[in-house]
C-alpha cells in the first residue's frame, strides 16, 4: 500500500450559490416552494470529500473555497499550479426542460480523452464509479467521456461525479440530505484510494483517538476541524490547518451554541458535536440548539418539511415541521425528536411524495 501523505488530492465544486449560478437548479420543489440550487449539493459534498481525504492522510487542495462561481480558467490555473495527484469535481445533472421534472435519473462519472493523462483519468473515473454506485440505490449510468475544462485542461488525472439529476423529483430531494452528501463524498474518496493504492480510513463513529486541538495547533486534524466548522455554519477563515484567531473565535461560538464549555479547546465533547455522532441518541425539543438541531433541520428539509432558514435553533417553525413529519409517518405527535422519530428521519431518501400525479 502507498503512503497517503505522498499525494495531493484536489476537490472542486461546480457553480455558485452567493449569488446562485443562473439556471443550475431544480424545478420548484413542492412544499418548499423554491428551487434547490446545484451548488447546495456540490459545495458541502466537496467539503465532505476533502474531510474524508484528510482523515485518510492525504494532503488536499480546495480548488474553489468561494461560494460564488469562479471562472473555469481561474480554477484550471489554480489546479495546474499544484502538482495534484488526482482531481475530483462534484456536480448534479439535468435533463430536458430544467423547469419540469422528468424520469431521467442515475449516477454518471466522467473523464476526458483530451486530458494530458487520459488513461489515468479513465482509470480514476472507473475506480470512483465503482464505489459511488454502491451506496443509495440509484441507477448506474456508467463512465462516460466529456470535454469540459476541469477535465481537459488540467494537468493531472481528473474525474467529474454527476451524483444524480436535479430534474428528477426523488433525486432532487437527495441534494439537501447531509447523509447523501457524505455518502457521495466518502465513496468518491474510496475510489481515489483504489486509484492510488491507499488504505481508506472510514468515517469516524466515535471521538476515540481524535487529538486535542487548541490555539497554535497545526496539521490535517486542524484542517478537517475547520471544514467541520464550515459544514456547521461557522466561519474559521480559510481551512489552512492552522489554529489561529479566526478558528479560535469560530470554535468558541460553536461551543456556546452547543451548550459546551467555551474554552476554545477542541476535545471529545466539541468533536462529538462537530461530527454529529449518533444523533439517534440525542433528544431534541423546542429550545434546543446546535449541530444536532442543524442536522435535524437538514433532514426535515430534504424530506420536504419546510421550516424556514436552517439556523441551528429549534424554534416554532422547526417544531411545526417535526409535528407534521410525525403525523405523516404514524408517530406520536409531540414535537420531540427521540428514537422513534430519528429512526424514520435518518435514512436517506423518502420524504413527501410528488403531490401532482
Ramachandran area for residue 95 (φ above 0: left; ψ -120 to 50: alpha; else beta): beta
CATH of span 220-275: 1.10.101.10
pLDDT score, position 230: 97
Cα distance between residue 188 and residue 190, in whole Å = 5
**Which DSSP letter does residue 143 get?**
E
Q: Give the angle 112-117-122 at the CA atoms, nearest 5°.
A: 50
Please say whether the beta carbons of 268 and 210 come within 8 A.
yes
Q: What class does CATH assign to 4-196?
A: alpha beta
Please say whether the beta carbons of 276 and 289 come within 8 A.
no
**Which residues are paired to 162 by β-bridges?**
91, 108
Cα distance between residue 222 and residue 324, in whole Å = 39
Cα distance between residue 128 and residue 144, in whole Å = 12
Please say whether the beta carbons of 159 and 108 come within 8 A.
no
Burial class for 154, CB neighbours closer than 10 Å (0-12, 13-18, 19+): buried
Cα distance between residue 161 and residue 182, in whole Å = 14
Instruction: Classify 144 as helix, strand or coil.
Output: strand
Cα distance between residue 304 and residue 293, in whole Å = 16
Residue in 38, 31, 44 with CA at minimum distance from that of residue 69: 38
Cα distance between residue 131 and residue 191, in whole Å = 6
Please say whether the beta carbons of 27 and 37 come within 8 A.
no
User: Measured in Å, how far apart are the chain's first and last C-alpha atoms?
Assistant: 52
Same topology between domain 220-275 and domain 284-345: yes
Cα distance between residue 84 and residue 90, in whole Å = 17
Backbone phi, then psi, for 127, in 5-degree steps? Answer: -70, -40
Domain ranges across the chain: 4-196, 220-275, 284-345
Which residue is listed with cell 448534479?
92
pLDDT score, position 357: 65
pLDDT score, position 350: 93
Residue in 291, 280, 297, 300 with CA at minimum distance from that of residue 340: 280
**Which DSSP letter does residue 312 get?**
S
Q: What class does CATH assign to 284-345?
A: mainly alpha
| pLDDT in 10s for each residue of the chain, 357 residues | 899 999 999 999 999 998 889 889 999 999 999 999 999 999 999 999 999 999 999 999 999 999 999 999 999 999 999 999 999 999 999 987 778 899 999 999 999 999 999 999 999 999 999 999 998 889 999 999 999 999 999 999 999 999 999 999 999 999 999 999 999 999 999 999 999 999 999 998 899 889 999 999 999 999 999 999 999 999 999 999 999 999 999 999 999 999 999 999 999 999 999 999 999 999 999 999 999 999 999 999 999 999 999 999 999 999 999 999 999 999 999 999 999 999 999 999 999 999 986
Please say whether the beta carbons of 185 and 120 come within 8 A.
no
How many other β-carbons are positioned within 10 Å of the β-carbon of residue 202?
A: 11
Please say whether the beta carbons of 98 and 25 come within 8 A.
yes
Cα distance between residue 120 and residue 131, in whole Å = 17
Amino acid at each position: 500500500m502507498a503512503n497517503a501523505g505522498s499525494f495531493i488530492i484536489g476537490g472542486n465544486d461546480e457553480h455558485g450559490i452567493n449569488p446562485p449560478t443562473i439556471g443550475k437548479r431544480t424545478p420548484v420543489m413542492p412544499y418548499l416552494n423554491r428551487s434547490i440550487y446545484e451548488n447546495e449539493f456540490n459545495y458541502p459534498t466537496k467539503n465532505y470529500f476533502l474531510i474524508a481525504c484528510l482523515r485518510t492522510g492525504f494532503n488536499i487542495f480546495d480548488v474553489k473555497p468561494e461560494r460564488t462561481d469562479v471562472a473555469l480558467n481561474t480554477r484550471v490555473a489554480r489546479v495546474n499550479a499544484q502538482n495534484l495527484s488526482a482531481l475530483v469535481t462534484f456536480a448534479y445533472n439535468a435533463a430536458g426542460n430544467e423547469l419540469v421534472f422528468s424520469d431521467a435519473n442515475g449516477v454518471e462519472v466522467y473523464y476526458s480523452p483530451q486530458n494530458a493523462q487520459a488513461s489515468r483519468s479513465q482509470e480514476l473515473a472507473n475506480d470512483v464509479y465503482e464505489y459511488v454506485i454502491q451506496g443509495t440505490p440509484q441507477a448506474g449510468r456508467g463512465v462516460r467521456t466529456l470535454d469540459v475544462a476541469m477535465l481537459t485542461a488540467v494537468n493531472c488525472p481528473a474525474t467529474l461525479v454527476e451524483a444524480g439529476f436535479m430534474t428528477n423529483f426523488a433525486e432532487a430531494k437527495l441534494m439537501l440530505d447531509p447523509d447523501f452528501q457524505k455518502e457521495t463524498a466518502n465513496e468518491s474518496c474510496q475510489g481515489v484510494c483504489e486509484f492510488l493504492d491507499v488504505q481508506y480510513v472510514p468515517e469516524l463513529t466515535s471521538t476515540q483517538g481524535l487529538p486535542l486541538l487548541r490555539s497554535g495547533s497545526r496539521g490535517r486534524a486542524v484542517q478537517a476541524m475547520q471544514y467541520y466548522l464550515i459544514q456547521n455554519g461557522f466561519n474559521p477563515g480559510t481551512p489552512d490547518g492552522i489554529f489561529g484567531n479566526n478558528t479560535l473565535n469560530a470554535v468558541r461560538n460553536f461551543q456556546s451554541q452547543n451548550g459546551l464549555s467555551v474554552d476554545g479547546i477542541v476535545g471529545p465533547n466539541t468533536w462529538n458535536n462537530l461530527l454529529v455522532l449518533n444523533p439517534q441518541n440525542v433528544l431534541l425539543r423546542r429550545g434546543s440548539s446546535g449541530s444536532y438541531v442543524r442536522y435535524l433541520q437538514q433532514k426535515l428539509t430534504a424530506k420536504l418539511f419546510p421550516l424556514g432558514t436552517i439556523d441551528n435553533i429549534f424554534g416554532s417553525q422547526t417544531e411545526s415541521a417535526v409535528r407534521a413529519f410525525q403525523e405523516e409517518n404514524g408517530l406520536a405527535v409531540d414535537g420531540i425528536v427521540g428514537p422513534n422519530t430519528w429512526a424514520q428521519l435518518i435514512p436517506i431518501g423518502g420524504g413527501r411524495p410528488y403531490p401532482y400525479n
